[in-house]
Structure 1
Amino acid sequence: MDNKSIAPQLDQLRNEIDEIDTQLVELLAKRRRVTTKVGELKSKVGMPIYAPEREAKLLSMRRQQAMEAGVSPELIEDILRRLMSDSYISQDASGYQCVNTECGKIVVIGGSGQLGKVFVDLFERSGYQVEILEQEDWSNSDNILAGAGVVIVAVPIRLTSMIIQKLSFLSKTCILADVTSVKEMPLYEMMKVHKGPVVGLHPMFGPDVSGLIKQTIITCEGRLPEQYNWLLKQFQVWGAKIYPVDALAHDQAMSMVQVMRHFSTIAYGYHLMTEGADISQLVEMSSPIYRLELIMVGRLFAQDPVLYTDIIFSNHDNVAMMKRFAYRFLELLEDVEMGDKDAFVTMFSQVSDWFGDYADIFLQESKAMLLKANELKKD
């Protein structure tokens, strides 16, 4: 049997595949029309777009169905997750219910900035009256802030305290909030200057998000939560997860989650540069995991240096944390210099035990991420 002899059969099979693919596209379009209607219904009653229980149940059912049909459950889950992501986008386009129609206007100070724009867009799509206050508008700030039901400070960390100090004349019923990545200092300043409801917010996402579905907003209680709870409900309607935490505990966690991570990444990028590393060669010779690490390093250096400088320099206590990190780095380096493999293995095992079940969870999650990263790799 040669290529010519199988050509008719091959063409017939390919035609069948093309027909099936056409049906798939038509089914996907039909599914999207249905999810759009779901979004419209949810919008009318204020239901959150993201329903984790429904999603988990659906994935479990379809994985079981796939196994019974002799299809890879991982493939089906991957397809379904992409479909769900698309359906969330279609539901997002339907707009959102306005949780509090009586709140008055919402003023976002720094609303033209990258993160501020995200909130301005979502509030407007929920039917709120929104005004933006920028640096050039302060001569007219009394008029802009008059009658505000919510004021959100969305300015760089280095300007946050100064801006908050200008807000002493807000109505006692007005909610004052900030969205900076440090919380103890802004919360203290807001409580000092404003006698009404106060809440500290830390959106755990960047300005490139298309919506808040599955995004986390950390909240730090300030004053009168019963008066600002509707605002948190609005975030949940948008699809966000609310994670409440004490302001001090937040800043201590961020010193490890953000400050140490950014500082280490910057130091590594600086090291690569000063060593004269050939980035194109490193990329070509990288395993998927190292390529992903390089992507994360390069991604940081493609952004605003002042933003990351502000985060790292935001709290002097961060210096002590970074010194402890440097000490542990040198401690491990000494084991390598001395050739003490036993000490190194012991340390590794201790850290592995400390991670516990999370080590295996992160291993599986990273495998999925690496598969996605490999699919996106450009030849």
Structure 2
Amino acid sequence: MRAKKIGIIGSSRGFGKSVYGFFAKKGFPITGSYIGSPITNKEVVEDSDVVIFAVPIGVTVQVIDEMLPYSREDQLWMDVTTYKVGAVNTMLKSSADVIGLHPLFGPTEADTWRGQKIAVHMARVRAWSGWALDFLKATEARVELVDPAVHDFYMLGAQGLPQLLNAFVQAKVILALGFDTKQLLKLATRFSRKSFGLIGRILQQKNHRLYADIQIEHPGTAHMIKECIAALREVQVMVDRKDQLGLISWIEELDKQLGPDFVAEAAKL
């Protein structure tokens, strides 16, 4: 991977900080901007061969859009935001080559990308194809090539749903029911400890804006919540009626519809 001048917009935290460290360790000349930094986003774009956008989800499209007038045909633009459609479509308005990236792991796990998964969309890759492939190889990550619209749809189930229910709603109910959290952890089963682990890993990052944006910025979140409420109401009716057979049948139907392949693979996680 030949050294190029790397510019990161949003370099002070999260994946921006991780990407900065990745290229710095490999000896690349690198600049970064962030709120209050001495260098501006415009200066980063004008001074860089590779521009990487690593800003919060809710402002990604706006920040990219503001930089469009300063793009060049000899540049590569990439982003590492959670949702790809808006970011990729906006980068495609530039003159640069364009690749959308989504590291499928948390910023606190980003000391090394080895063995992790990265969703990738080669939106427009001309002169930068060789360098881009070398970069992805150098990360030692597992690359998942995926269309932005397909990616964003599945992120609702792969991120939005488990984070909302298994972390935030579960935490809210734990507090509402008045559990002593120390005693709860002492008596937790192996299964529940894994579930509580998601709460801990997310909240420990102290990046609450990221997880709020994951819910707020996905167009399917409202519908997902309606489906969650509908499912809970179905269970509530059966519990109120003490309908054991009905609930068994309900669970059996879930098992059947998900299918043995999904169940077997998910059980390994």
Q: What's the TM-score once normalised by structure 1's chain length?
A: 0.65
For residues 257-287 of structure 1, give each alpha carbon's deviation from its aligned partner in whole angstroms, at most 9, with x where no partner exists: 1111111121111111122111111112122
8 Å contact kept, 2:79–2:100 = yes
Unaligned 5+ segments in structure 1 are 1-98, 367-379
Are 1:206 and 2:106 counterparts? yes
Residue number in structure 1 paired with 2:231: 328
Q: What SS does the aligned partner of 1:348 have? A: helix
Tell me the secondary structure at the aligned position of residue 107 of structure 2.
coil
Matches of 2:49 and 2:184 in 1, distance apart? 53
Larger CA Rg, structure 1 vs 2:
1
- Shift of the 320–142 alpha-carbon distance from structure 1 to 2, 3 Å rule, reads closer
Question: Which residue is 2:57 aligned to?
Answer: 157
Quick one: distance in 2 between partners of 1:227 and 1:288?
A: 47
Partner residue, 1:92: none
- C-alpha change, 1:140 and 1:111, in structure 2 (3 Å) is closer
How many residue pairs align between the two structures?
264
Deviations 1:171-216 (A, max 9, x none): 1121111111011111122122x02211111011222232111111
Unaligned 5+ runs, structure 2: none
Which residue type is aligned with residue 225 of structure 2? Answer: M
Alpha-carbon RMSD across the aligned residues, in angstroms, is: 2.0
Q: Secondary structure at the match of 1:201?
A: strand
Question: Do the aligned partners of 2:9 and 2:44 also contact (CA within 8 Å) in 1?
Answer: no
**Alignment of 1:174 onto 2:78:** no
* Residue in structure 1 matched with residue 128 of structure 2 by the alignment: 227
- For 2:239, give the aligned amino acid: V
The question of 1:272 aligning with 2:174 is answered yes
The one-letter amino acid paired with 2:6 is I
Deviation at 1:137, TM superposition (A): 4.1
Which of 337, 346, 359 does residue 263 from structure 2 map onto?
A: 359
Residue identity (%): 23
Partner Cα separation in structure 1 for residue 101 and residue 57 of structure 2: 13
Residues 232 and 242 in structure 1, CA contact (< 8 A), matched pair in contact too: no
Residue range with higher mean Cα deviation, 321-330 or 339-348: 339-348
Q: Of Structure 1 and Structure 2, which has the larger fraction of its residues in helix?
A: 1
Residue 113 of structure 1 corresponds to which residue in structure 2?
A: 13
> In the alignment, is the contact (CA less than 8 A) between 2:8 and 2:44 conserved in 1?
no
1:79-113 residue CA offsets vs partner (Å, 9 max, x unmatched): xxxxxxxxxxxxxxxxxxxx133xx3010111121
Matches within 5 A, 1:33-182: 99-101=1-3, 104-137=4-37, 140-168=40-68, 169-182=70-83
> Of 129, 149, 152, which aligns to 1:251?
152
* Distance in 2 of aligned mates of 1:167 and 1:112: 19
Q: Which residue of 2 aligns with 1:238?
A: 139
The TM-score normalised by the length of structure 2 is 0.90
Any idea what the Cα deviations from partners look like across 1:124-174, whole Å, max 9, x if unmatched? 222321111223347644443334211000011122122101212121121
The one-character-per-residue Cα deviations of 1:240-266 (angstroms, maximum 9, x if unpaired) are 111111111111101111111111121
Q: Indicate the residue corresponding to 1:346 in structure 2.
A: 249
Cα 1:166–1:285, aligned 2, differ >3 Å: closer, same or farther?
A: same
* 2:196 is aligned with 1:294: yes
* Inter-partner Cα distance in structure 1 for 2:202 and 2:17: 21
Task: Determine the C-alpha separation between the residues in 2 that align with 1:332 and 1:186.
Answer: 39
Cα pair 1:175 1:228 within 8 Å, conserved: no
Task: Name which structure has the greater RCO, CA cutoff 8 Å, separation 6+.
Answer: 2
- Which SS does the other structure have where 1:165 is aligned? helix
Q: C-alpha separation between the residues in 2 aligned to 1:151 and 1:245?
A: 21
User: In structure 1, the residue corresponding to 2:161 is in which secondary structure?
Assistant: helix
1:281 aligns with 2:183: yes
CA deviations on 1:16-69 (whole Å, 9 max, x unpaired) are: xxxxxxxxxxxxxxxxxxxxxxxxxxxxxxxxxxxxxxxxxxxxxxxxxxxxxx
